[in-house]
């Protein structure tokens, strides 16, 4: 790829990603703001003037952020289950996966970048999808090159061109590339008592970037609900705006001139003095405005249901009372469960690549199996009853595995064994004490008889 092709590629990528909506909607704060409305009028001198009429209301409900947080908490609120190793813990891994799932849900993809830290250990950092352009082989399957770019000031873009042989860095400013430098992937430092004795430039046995996609279609979670969120916010804004503007009756002036200054002065006097002088043949009447609140409330409720249904989320307000069954709860989690299944498949593919990098770097053979421990609301009373009922049909260990208060089945089994052994010991002591008491009573009676 020559310099002109690289510049054109980066320009197209910047333009393409500027049109993506996920980050815009996720970062937009739920708020109520005012927007001014301007109107052109003709005054008594037949001159056109622009005046400011009532401010409008702008409300935004960040349903997108709610849906993504639900997804992350459902998939990763509990630590993942992995084969233990010396390189990272399940807690560290879960934290990293939370950041990846967040970014991939918003942007459709998230990128992990490997580097070697000051202790010569393999480490990683999550980088923005805005910075990455992957180059694939002719089969569009394997990444053969990564172009990473980001602004170092408003006019200058720093570029890193990574391949299996090393990384070329350069700067792009005013459509010109400069400062081309080629290096190996990383530098290994050999030190003794804090002093660096030797530095060796090395390459990874892989290109140190791994993508995690949101789903098989490689789409953001905003794709199908963006129009619904916009419509919900617009209708809510219009409703509040109507209530705000028409909370008082509209005054109809009769006998006044069409001069806006006269009307504005009359309104000012009504606001301050609660009265106004009127012409001899004039009059003031009031018009009441009926706002279709019920119809709009129904539309808003329908839109909210559609956001959770199409966005595959779980509306907590639909949970019902405390007597709702776990079967009903599970059915209401079905959308979130399907969306999470699609993401989990991509997460497991990512984890396999993640482990491959560790295995190649350290020349080891870590296990790439991973299990997510999903978290959902449930009826604890019903779950306890099911656990107790299953005790007579299954093993104690199986019954404990579905008990809501048992987090570690092996530990709970050990506690039960210890408690049972202690009870047997106490009963044995009590039995022996009773026998000894009876023997003593018998001996005492025999001695008294003698």
For residue range 177-198, list pLDDT tens digits in order.
998 999 999 998 877 766 777 8
Taking the CA atoms of residue 310, residue 316, residue 319 and residue 321 in that order, the dihedral angle to the nearest 10 degrees is: -160
56-70, 252-266, 272-286, 375-389, range with greatest mean pLDDT: 56-70
Contacts of 311 (CB under 8 A, 6+ apart): 63, 64, 67, 221, 224, 225, 228, 335
**What is the distance between the alpha carbons of residues 363 and 366, in angstroms, rounded to a whole number?**
10
Q: What is the pLDDT of residue 244?
A: 62
Domain segments of the chain as ranges: 64-221+342-362, 392-449
Cα gap 167→185, rounded to integer Å: 6
Per-residue pLDDT reduced to its tens digit, 187-229: 988 777 667 778 889 999 999 999 999 999 999 999 999 999 9
Measure CA 378 to chain center.
22
Question: Rounded mean pLDDT of 324-339?
Answer: 78
Residue 4 or residue 97, greater confidence? 97
Residue 169 is encoded by which pair of tokens? 């860095």
Phi and psi torsions of 98, nearest 5°: -60, -45
Contact 211, 110 (CB under 8 A): yes
The token pair at 315 is 């509306």
Predicted pLDDT of residue 251: 62
How far apart are the C-alpha atoms of 400 and 106, rounded to whole Å? Answer: 38
Q: 423 pLDDT band (50/70/90 cuts)? A: confident
Q: What percent of the chain has pLDDT over 70?
A: 70
pLDDT for 146 equals: 96
Residue in this structure with the two tokens 């579905």, named with its chain if needed: 402
CA atoms of 100 and 127, how far apart (whole Å): 9
SS in 3 state form for the chain? CCHHHHHHHHHHHHHHHHCCCHHHHHHCCCEEEEEEEEEEEECCCCCEEEEEEEEEEEEECCHHHHHHHHHHHHHHCCCCEECCCCCCCHHHHHHHHHHHHHHHHHHCEEEEEEEECCCCCEEEEEECHHHEEEEECCCCCCEEEEEEEEEEECCEEEEEEEECCEEEEEEEECCEEEEEEEECCEEEEEEECCEEEEEEEECCCCCCEEEEECCCCCCCCCCCCHHHHHHHHHHHHHHHHHHHHCCCCEEEEECCCCCHHHHHHHHHHHHHHCCCCCCCCCEEEEECCCCCHHHHHHHHHHHHHHHHHHCCCCCHHHCCCCCCCHHHHHHHCHHHHHHHHHHHHHHHHHHHHHHHHHHHHHCCCCCCCEECCCCCCCCHHHHHHHHHHHCCCCCHHHHHHCCCCCCCHHHHHHHHHHHHHHHHHHHHHHHHHHHHHHHHHHHHHHHHHC
d(CA 33, CA 55) in angstroms, rounded, equals: 10
pLDDT(134) > 60: yes
CA 380 distance to own-chain centroid: 26
Q: Does position 34 have pLDDT exceeding 90, yes or no?
A: no
Q: Which pLDDT score, from 0 to 100, does residue 379 have?
A: 46
Does residue 276 surpass a pLDDT of 80? no
Q: Hey, which of 73-77, 110-114, 138-142 has the most confident mean pLDDT?
A: 110-114
Percentage of the residues of the chain whose pLDDT score is greater than 90: 44
**186, 207 contact by CB (below 8 A):** no
Q: Is the pLDDT of residue 378 over 60?
A: no
| Confidence label for 361 from pLDDT (cuts 50, 70 and 90) | very high
Q: Is the pTM of this model over 0.75?
A: no
CA-wise closest residue to 232 among 310, 340, 339: 310
């Amino acid at each position: 790829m020559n310099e002109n092709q690289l510049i054109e590629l980066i320009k197209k990528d910047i333009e393409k990603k500027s049109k993506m909506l996920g980050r815009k909607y996720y970062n937009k704060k739920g708020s109520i703001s005012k927007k001014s409305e301007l109107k052109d009028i003709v005054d008594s001198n037949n001159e056109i003037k622009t005046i400011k009429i009532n401010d409008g209301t702008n409300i935004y409900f960040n349903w997108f952020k709610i849906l993504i947080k639900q997804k992350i908490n459902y998939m990763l609120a509990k630590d993942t289950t992995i084969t233990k190793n010396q390189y990272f813990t399940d807690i560290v891994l879960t934290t990293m996966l939370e950041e990846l799932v967040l970014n991939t849900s918003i942007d459709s993809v998230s990128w992990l970048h490997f580097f070697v830290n000051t202790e010569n250990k393999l480490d990683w950092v999550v980088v923005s999808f805005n910075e990455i352009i992957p180059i694939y082989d002719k089969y569009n399957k394997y990444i053969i090159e990564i172009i990473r770019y980001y602004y170092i000031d408003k006019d200058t873009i720093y570029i890193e061109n990574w391949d299996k042989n090393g990384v070329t860095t350069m700067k792009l400013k005013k459509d010109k590339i400069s400062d081309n430098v080629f290096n190996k992937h990383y530098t290994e430092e050999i030190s003794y008592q804090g002093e660096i004795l030797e530095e060796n430039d090395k390459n990874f046995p892989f290109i140190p970037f791994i993508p995690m996609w949101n789903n098989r279609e490689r789409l953001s979670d905003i794709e199908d609900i963006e129009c619904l969120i916009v419509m919900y916010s617009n209708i809510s804004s219009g409703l509040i705006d109507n209530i705000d503007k028409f909370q008082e009756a509209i005054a109809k002036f009769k006998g006044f001139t069409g001069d806006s200054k006269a009307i504005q002065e009359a309104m000012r006097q009504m606001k301050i003095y609660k009265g106004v002088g009127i012409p001899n043949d004039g009059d003031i009447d009031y018009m009441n405005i009926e706002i279709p609140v019920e119809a709009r409330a129904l539309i808003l409720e329908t839109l909210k249901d559609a956001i959770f249904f199409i966005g595959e989320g779980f509306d907590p307000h639909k949970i019902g009372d405390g007597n709702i069954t776990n079967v009903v709860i599970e059915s209401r989690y079905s959308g979130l469960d399907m969306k999470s299944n699609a993401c989990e498949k991509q997460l497991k593919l990512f984890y396999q690549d993640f482990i491959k990098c560790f295995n190649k770097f350290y020349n080891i053979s870590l296990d790439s199996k991973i299990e997510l421990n999903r978290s959902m609301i449930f009826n604890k009373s019903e779950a306890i009853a099911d656990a107790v009922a299953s005790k007579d049909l299954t093993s104690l260990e199986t019954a404990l595995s579905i008990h809501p208060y048992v987090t570690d089945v092996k530990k709970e089994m050990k506690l039960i064994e210890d408690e049972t052994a202690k009870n047997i010991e106490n009963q044995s002591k009590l039995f022996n004490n009773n026998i000894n008491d009876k023997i003593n009573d018998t001996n005492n009676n025999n001695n008294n008889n003698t």
